[in-house]
Structure 1
Amino acid sequence: MAVKPIYSVDSSALIHAWRRAYRPQNFAFVWKGFDALIAEGRLRASMEVYLELEKKDDELFAWCKERKETLFVELDDAVQASVTNIMKNHPRLVDTVKGRSAADPFVIALAETGKPQMIVLTEEKPGKVRIPDVCNARNIKWKNLADMIEDEDWKSG
């Protein structure tokens, strides 16, 4: 039996799902799917994602806050070392001037240090130096939500 994938989710994926593509009032099955993945320990997020979402303090953050203990992962030495290496090799990943994308290296590092290695969930597209570009350079799988939903075979009621 194949090992089921574990995902490291980026803020962009959660924001995209909540505000644009899979609004909870119309796509409850997606949010039930997220909860099932969280319960199975297969959907994880860096605490840095939580801190990024906390800045908005909206309904999405309220949803995350209810799942803080089960969805979000505190930094450990392996993740910290991976973040240091990512930033050394991809310094433009984080926009330090505008304070954007601060969680991105943590999302990637969580995936990279996972046992087994996780798949990064992001709505970012490959570009100059974005999550997909760094994942590709480091041989880490990534996908968007629509592909994950299809792979997990989620269907509306």
Structure 2
Amino acid sequence: MAKLVYSIDSSALIHAWHRIYRPKNFGFVWDGLDKLIEEGRLKSSIEVYNELQKKDDELFAWCKERKGSIFVEIDEPTQAMVAKIMAAHPKLVDTTKGRSGADPFVMALAASTNPQMWVVTEEYPGKERIPDVCDAQNIDYCGVADLIEKEGWTS
């Protein structure tokens, strides 16, 4: 069986770093993410990097060290998929609050890659959230805990 490949969202990185799997206590999670990055199995849109840069905290420093390995520039297939996603889900990005700007790029990266990636997010279904759009677009998704389980990581 082919190993899974993931497209990770800002919410997953933020929740994991600050709330759920703090590096001080859950180093094995971050070691596992580094291994996935090294294997080319964990990617994210450069738009996620741009979102995280606004905070400029320890998580961003971690991302900055890995920028060339994990963050993917927007190519034509991804851009075409972003256009498709936004046409079908125009309320996905909240331009008034300046939030969720990377979301369509995370899903488009996943959908335009062969084999298709799993989106890793900590968002919950709601009105035009990542899980809702993934369901509508037939894109698999999971949370960080699910990724840990899928990869068989233990402390």
Distance 2:150 2:3 in 1: 10
- Where 1:84 maps in the other structure, the secondary structure is helix
Deviation per CA, 1:99-141: give whole Å up to 9, x if none.
1000000000000001100000000011111000000001000
- Where 2:44 maps in the other structure, the secondary structure is strand
- Write out aligned runs for 1:6-155 (5 A): 6-155=5-154
Number of aligned residue pairs: give it.
Answer: 155
- Where 1:87 maps in the other structure, the secondary structure is helix
- 1:151 Cα shift? 1.0
- Where 1:120 maps in the other structure, the secondary structure is strand
Distance 1:31 1:143 in 2: 17
- Where 1:92 maps in the other structure, the secondary structure is coil
Query: What is the aligned-residue RMSD (CA, Å)?
Result: 0.4
Identical counterparts, % of pairs:
66
TM-score by length of 1: 0.98
List alignment gaps of at least 5 residues for structure 1.
none
Distance 2:90 2:154 in 1: 40
Distance 1:54 1:150 in 2: 29
Distance 1:78 1:117 in 2: 13
Deviation per CA, 1:54-112: give whole Å up to 9, x if none.
00000000000000000000000000011011111100100010010000000000000
Distance 1:115 1:69 in 2: 20
Distance 1:123 1:76 in 2: 25
